[in-house]
Amino acid sequence: MELKERFLKYVGFDTQSDPGSEKFPSTDKQLVLLRYLADEMKSIGLLDVEMDRYGYVMGTIPATPGHEDRPVIGFIAHVDTSPDMNGADICPQIIEKYDGEDIRLNDKLTMTVADFPELSFYKGHTLITTDGTSLLGADDKAGVAEIMTAAEYLIQHPEIAHGKIRIGFTPDEEIGRGVDFFDVERFGAVCAYTVDGGFEGELEYENFNAAGVKIEVQGRNIHPGYAKDKMLNALQVVTEINTMLPAWERPEHTEGYEGFYHLISISGEVEKAAIEYIIRDHSREKFEAKKQFMTNVVEFLTKKYGEGVVSMTLKDQYYNMREMVEPHPEVIDKALQAMQQAEVKPIVRPIRGGTDGARLSYMGLPCPNLFTGGMNFHGKYEYCSLTTMHKAMQTILNLAVLWGK
């Protein structure tokens, strides 16, 4: 199956994850695609294909005879799509030889070069966009398609020498649970690459340190006409919390290595309310300082309003993989070489987010992130370059050869 056909097939599966679910995977519909992938892996000739009780799918491209002693490497991608945007009934639109101009998604919605200047890079490429009513699912079905198409190519071309290669597909990456039950020992690789990046040439092995914060406020509701010196409005307290955080450290004012506090939810009423944030920073020192600042805010408000009014739950989610990857420079060096061989200019920059690879690196599997060609993830302006997807697939093939030498 060709790369384009495979990708369009995969985006037809609704695989949206659900952060409110307590089960794993968070949605049963992810399992539909995972089962399909397991069957497809068997049909194209992969060995040791299995899907465990958590939905993880793994399989093996066996080593070329005489190369069984080469290091075992892996490629990993996630199947779920973001809960931030509709992921069902996706209607991809294909633009051949993109002219570099604004793209009309539908009668009411246009993706402009002014708003998305990265489009200029893709002039002349074949682009796949949404119709403006859903996300596309390139995050990360582009990566899934690239891995599967590369795997099929290696199986069909036994003259390409390589070591044993492990393939893995995961659920629930978008809600931060993607590798909660991933069996690194069973996967059995010395290193792996998540194929979950964006812009052509991206190579990422630095990501945010991440934490989630929920602050709950117990108010005291009194008839507003008789509330003087009696009412404690929980909603007013949560808005006070937000004003105490530095406004310049919000996502809309940060870039590169700069971290942030991101307000993601306010809920409640006068009697009881809650406010939720995510905290992100590449620097562990600054990350810890941000968490301490949140603690200080809660302590200050406790002194102001009394015990039992303000409570906080703070939980670390993942850490910067750099300190786990840097001791293995060959993992990065080979990725750079593989890109250059694919006529791709490497762009090494920090991930302003996280990937399964970050947690896997801390679980003992060094796992930097490769580009896919997808852009504007999680929304109706998402698109991908099929031209770049082919280069991503070639990068995977080149890595297989380089590790097999």
The two tokens of residue 175 are 């809600």
Across the range 148-176, mean pLDDT stands at 96
- pLDDT value at residue 232: 96
Most distant CA pair in the chain, distance: 85
Task: Name the burial class of residue 372, with classes exposed (0-12), middle (13-18) and buried (19+) by CB atoms within 10 angstroms of its CB.
Answer: buried
Q: Cα(34)–Cα(31) distance, rounded to whole angstroms?
A: 5
Residue 354: pLDDT over 80: no
C-alpha angle 380-383-388 in degrees, rounded to nearest 5: 170
- pLDDT value at residue 321: 92
Residue 103: pLDDT over 90: yes
Q: Cα(356)–Cα(370) distance, rounded to whole angstroms?
A: 12
C-alpha angle 81-336-5 in degrees, rounded to nearest 5: 40
- pLDDT value at residue 392: 98
- pLDDT value at residue 22: 92
Do 209-318 and 3-206+320-404 have the same topology in CATH? no
For the chain, the structural domain boundaries read: 3-206+320-404, 209-318
Q: Cα(127)–Cα(125) distance, rounded to whole angstroms?
A: 6
pLDDT tens for 48-86 read: 999 999 999 999 999 999 999 999 999 999 999 999 999
- pLDDT value at residue 62: 97
Active site residue 80: yes
CATH topology of domain 209-318: Alpha-Beta Plaits (3.30.70)
Banded model confidence at residue 373, pLDDT cuts 50, 70, 90: very high
- pLDDT value at residue 353: 78
pLDDT tens for 288-334 read: 999 999 999 999 999 999 999 999 999 998 889 998 999 999 999 99
> Taking each helix axis from N to C terminus, what angle separates 138-156 and 386-404, rounded to the nearest 10 degrees?
50
Alpha helices in 65-170 (DSSP H): 138-156
pLDDT tens for 204-256 read: 999 999 999 999 999 999 999 999 999 999 999 999 999 999 999 999 999 98
Across the range 334-359, mean pLDDT stands at 92
Q: Which of 40, 146, 173, 382 is catalytic?
A: 173
Q: Which of 80, 140, 206, 249 is catalytic?
A: 80
Banded model confidence at residue 39, pLDDT cuts 50, 70, 90: very high
275 phi/psi in degrees, rounded to 5: -135, 140
Distances in Å between the Cα of 121 and the Cα atoms of 30, 98, 241, 305, 371 are 33, 10, 42, 54, 15
Active site residue 269: no
Q: What is the CATH number of domain 3-206+320-404?
A: 3.40.630.10
